[in-house]
Amino acid sequence: MPRLLSTALSLRRDPRLLRIPPYVSAFCIAIGVVWLLLLPLDDYSRRTYVSENALLPGQVHTYFGGSEQHIFRAFRHEVDLLADKNNYEVNDKLESILTGFGVKVGRQNYTYHSAGQKYTGENVYGILQAPRGDATEAIVLVAAWKSIDEQLNRNGIALVLTLARYFKRWSLWSKDIILLLPPDSTTGTQAWVDAYHDAHDSKHVSPLPLKSGALQGAIAIDYPHEQRYHELHIIYDGTNGQLPNLDLINSIVNIAGGQMGIETTVQQMTGHTDSYQDRLQTMLRGMLYQGLGYPTGPHSSFIPYHVDAITLQPTGEGWHDEMAMGRVVEGSFRSLNNLLEHLHQSFFFYLLMQKNRFVSIGTYLPSAMLLAANFTIMAIFLWVKSGQPTVKDVDSAKEKNDGMEHKGDAAQASWNPLAVERNLLSPLTFVAICHSISAIPLFVFNHLGLNTLPLAFLIFSVASTVLPAIFSFAAASLQKSTLQYFQLTKSFSLLILGVSLATLSTLNFSLAFLVGLLASPLTFIRPTNSVATRGIFAMLLIITSPPIVILTTAWTSGVTLTEVLKAASLGWNVWGMYTPIVIWCMWWPAWLVGMTNTLSPISKA
Amino acid sequence: MKLSSLPLRAIVASVLLATAAVAEHTSNWAVLVCTSRFWFNYRHLANVLSMYRTVKRLGIPDSQIILMLPDDMACNPRNAFPGTVYSNSDRAVDLYGDNIEVDYRGYEVTVENFIRLLTDRVGDETPRSKRLLTDDRSNIFVYMTGHGGNEFLKFQDAEEIGAFDLADAFEQMWEKKRYHEILFMIDTCQANTMYSRLYSPNIIATGSSELDESSYSHHADNDVGVAVIDRYTYYNLEFLEAHVQDLSSKKTIGELFDSYEFDKIHSTAGVHYDLFPGGEQAARSRLITDFFGNIQNVEVDRAKDLALEEELVQLSKTIAMLRKREAEEDAAYNNVSSIPASVPTAPPRKIQGAKALTEDDWWTKKVIGATALAGCALLWGVGSFLEA
């Protein structure tokens, strides 16, 4: 044992050991990516199952249908008449309809400002009190006047009104049912949910005149689709990549598929063949939406408040009608009505790769963690290395030793290299400067008006590319840029990146993974005096720089830059989306340090 | 020879049965326990209420039924048919009717209360309706249902009763002479493990499923929206409804046990009569109404009556003979003239009186008395002289 220990200790000082970490880093990245690609396989993913006993999905007969269809048509006619009216006129009418069947109605005004634009509207909502319930809990049925694609949610509104009238006749509700009809799919629900939990900014959002109990779940209907539909698209991504409990999705899949015979899809994957490619594509789409952290529907605002919510969107051409949709909602509400406590049994962290196949956090987390670990390993390696003399230093030290000391000491020096004093002030200052100036893009992009935003972004992109050159010139003129200086700046910057990404991966796995992957070249670039290598490194870094990645993504997905910037600003100002912080305050400073290092020539010691 | 021996055997058997009947129970009690609450466990309450209905149908009065229901399904807001509980989707019989006496309800249904009930270790304030007032002539039917596992049964998501706890409770009942015979029936997952630790005599036990086996629900009512009854209970009830229509039923426990089939119950129902006196044979021959019905043997069998009379005559003859012999012996001893043997007489009474002095040593006793008196006088004289 002691021999083993001493061998291990001598191995610690082995110079060969210091060559390993960069390979370990590369290995971590490779494994992380391969890990992700393995997830869609049967051996790594699991079939979904309903784990909450109380839900009992699909065990009830649903009676919505028959003469309700006439009522539905009548309401749709009413909605058509209101199509060109303004928000207040629409709400007047909706209020009179809701009060007509004995539902208490409340209205709420809100005004948001973002990117120099004003988002204003009035929510109308009704509370259908449970006749035998105790009013301590409520479930929400949402239909926004404007659908996710900014169309008139004609069938959705009519269906909610019909269902409200129908639900009113049942006496078996244990929870109040809230019918929420916001003017749009994005800001309205956010204002309402904030106000419901008294977490609203009273300067912009007015409080709710009427409330019920704790929200247990919400289902939004996004139904501008006019023909008979083929399948139900379940949208489940919440703000900042938070997800509703998997049991909610499972129940809806179970009710729609098992009871009504309606196909369900996730992530717009129509015609999913359950092949590896389809599973992978579904998962990657899910990761992209999760990584963006942008709300995907009226349900998204509920999820940060731990209210499990989804949006149901009929799509495709088929033979299912509005009544079938109504029955799915009825069945789901009966299931939610059975709940005795918040959904908690099933997973909150998962990646869906098919409506009934998923991987849970325990299985997928290592891939993002490995990517984050690669930065940390490299940071520690550089820290160790910065404390060791360069080859030339060792040689000169050896010469000195030979001249002055005994041979025994010289032999000792050969395995115990001299430690070099680390000059910490300038690297720390530089990394601190890079991180503090990251507040500039964060502030600018979230406060500028829409007309100046694209221009500002382009200027910033150019500035971001030029800035490293200026920094490297300034650093070179202020002090002698030794190799140790570069090693230390890179070490600190990667350390921060590694720690932040590891933390982020537990909150928003996809964002951490994507940023980790895009930032991975930072691990391998190093200052060099070879112009060709430096050029290659610089090109690689410019391609993976945050502004360029944003521009390329916007360009490839066919969205204008203005749209992207507007959405990012709206996300920050209305939904508290933290993706801009991750991009500008975590990724961009690390990139800035890496790029500066690449451009700087090493001065001779 | 054989032919002639048959009726003889029948007579012997009937006499044996008759003597057994003398040792039979004199009261019937039922302890019906549901251990789960919450809407989705509707079926467990329906199980118990179905059993409640059955034992009441067969005559056990509410005062002798202890019903434990942790939840109130009839008044649950989720119930589409308020005020009712059904154990079948045909909804023909409302189990919650208008004559329900729940003895332990809501959070009163605990392991402690259950064991206190069985062992009668209850406080003075406990009403009679919450006590199991049985004696060593009481037959008890104990029915339990809920969610269980290997050697435990969960009570209300909060605690559980173990197989050992149950066995100890039954043993304490036996020691306190609180039962004559018990039929223990349990419908839960891995139910058979619950009676595996019993060590007290006179218990017949049966359960719905063996170790590592689940117990399944029979069917759901799609308007109520939940499963309404468990398979094991359902088929027990089916047998009882079909074959035990009234107290005159002669169906035995053995026949009930034989009706359990894996194809119907979807789990392996178990039976246990290890410590039953007479073993399997005796246990299986017990009538179902011995436990489910309120049997009171008022109508007395004729053959049994004759035998009893004969026995009584025999007994009185023996007594008379013994008295005669005693009297003869007395007469011989005291040399007194004989008393007619056929008339039973009270034995001569001996009364302890004051003993008279005999003439023998009259003078000696007088002298001792006089000496004692003289001694006392002498002592007084000496005392007063010394004082002076």
Domain regions of chain A by residue span:
53-355, 368-387+422-599
| Contact call for residues A238 and A300 (beta carbons, < 8 A) | yes
B219 plus B337 within the same structural domain: no
pLDDT above 60 for A414 = no
The count of structural domains within chain B is 2
Residue that terminates a domain, selected from B299, B331, B364? B299
Contact A56 B222 (CB under 8 A): no
Mean pLDDT computed over A195-219: 93
B337 plus B281 within the same structural domain: no
Q: What is the dihedral of CA A84, A90, A93, A94, to 10 degrees?
A: 130
B50/chain A closest Cα distance in angstroms: 22
B189 is catalytic: yes
Residue that terminates a domain, selected from B249, B268, B299? B299
B205 plus B305 within the same structural domain: no
Q: Which of A54, A59, A173 faces B77 most closely, judged by CB atoms?
A: A173
Give the number of beta-carbon pairs within 8 Å between A and B.
Answer: 43
B272 plus B219 within the same structural domain: yes
Domain assignment present for residue B266? The answer is yes
Q: Does B39 touch chain A (CB under 8 A)?
A: yes
Domain assignment present for residue B191? The answer is yes
Mean pLDDT computed over A461-476: 89
Mean pLDDT computed over A468-486: 84
Q: Identify the pLDDT of residue B338.
A: 46
B307 plus B295 within the same structural domain: no
Minimum CA–CA partner of B78 in chain A: A172
Residue ranges making up the domain that contains B124: 25-299
Q: How many residues are listed for chain A in this entry?
A: 605
Q: Is the dihedral of CA A214, A234, A149, A87 positive or negative?
A: negative
> What is the pTM assigned to this prediction?
0.82
A172/chain B closest Cα distance in angstroms: 4
Domain assignment present for residue B381? The answer is no
B49/chain A closest Cα distance in angstroms: 21
Q: Identify the pLDDT of residue B110.
A: 93
More confident residue, B148 or B20: B148
- In the numeric block, the tokens 């600003």 are attached to A569
CB hemisphere CA count around A353 (13 angstroms): 26
Q: Which of B44, B147, B180, B218 is catalytic?
A: B147
Nearest CA among B218, B193, B208, B214 for reference residue B269 = B208
Residue-wise pLDDT for A313-326, tens only, equals: 999 999 999 999 99
Domain assignment present for residue B194? The answer is yes
Q: Which of B189, B243, B266, B272 is catalytic?
A: B189
Mean pLDDT computed over B318-346: 73
B154 plus B275 within the same structural domain: yes
- CA A576, CA A570: separation in Å to the nearest integer? 9
Domain assignment present for residue B50? The answer is yes
Contact B225 A132 (CB under 8 A): no
Mean pLDDT computed over B94-118: 91
CB-based burial label for A154 (10 Å; 0-12, 13-18, 19+): buried
CB atoms within 10 A of CB B164: 14
Minimum CA–CA partner of A59 in chain B: B225
B295 plus B234 within the same structural domain: yes
Name residues 132-151 of chain A within 8 A of B (Cβ). 132-134
A246/chain B closest Cα distance in angstroms: 20
B240/chain A closest Cα distance in angstroms: 29
Nearest CA among A14, A523, A57 for reference residue A255 = A57
pLDDT above 80 for B344 = no
Contacts with A171 from chain B: Cβ below 8 Å: 80, 82
Contacts with A54 from chain B: Cβ below 8 Å: 38-40
Residue-wise pLDDT for A327-384, tens only, equals: 999 999 999 999 998 999 899 999 999 999 999 999 999 999 999 999 999 999 999 8
Element (H, E) at B322: helix B302-334
Domain assignment present for residue B49? The answer is yes
Residue-wise pLDDT for B292-327, tens only, equals: 888 765 545 555 667 778 888 899 999 999 999 999
Name residues 51-90 of chain A within 8 A of B (Cβ). 53-54, 56, 59-61
- CA B126, CA A157: separation in Å to the nearest integer? 59
B275 plus B330 within the same structural domain: no
Largest CA distance in chain A: 106
B96 plus B234 within the same structural domain: yes
Minimum CA–CA partner of A62 in chain B: B223
CATH code: domain of residue B157? 3.40.50.1460
Mean pLDDT computed over A530-536: 87
Q: Which of B76, B225, B227 faces A60 most closely, judged by CB atoms?
A: B225
B319 plus B278 within the same structural domain: no
Residue-wise pLDDT for A489-524, tens only, equals: 999 999 999 999 999 999 999 999 999 999 999 998
B53 plus B157 within the same structural domain: yes
B275 plus B305 within the same structural domain: no
Q: Identify the pLDDT of residue A12.
A: 64
Query: Which CATH architecture describes the domain A53-355?
Result: 3-Layer(aba) Sandwich (3.40)
pLDDT above 90 for A583 = yes
In the structure encoding, which two tokens stand for residue A54, read together?
Answer: 């109380």
Name residues 321-340 of chain A within 8 A of B (Cβ). 334, 337-338, 340
Contacts with B77 from chain A: Cβ below 8 Å: 130-134, 172-174
- CA A49, CA A356: separation in Å to the nearest integer? 8
* Residue B340 binned pLDDT confidence (cut-offs 50, 70, 90): very low
Contacts with A133 from chain B: Cβ below 8 Å: 77
B75 is catalytic: no
pLDDT above 70 for A578 = yes
ipTM over 0.85: no
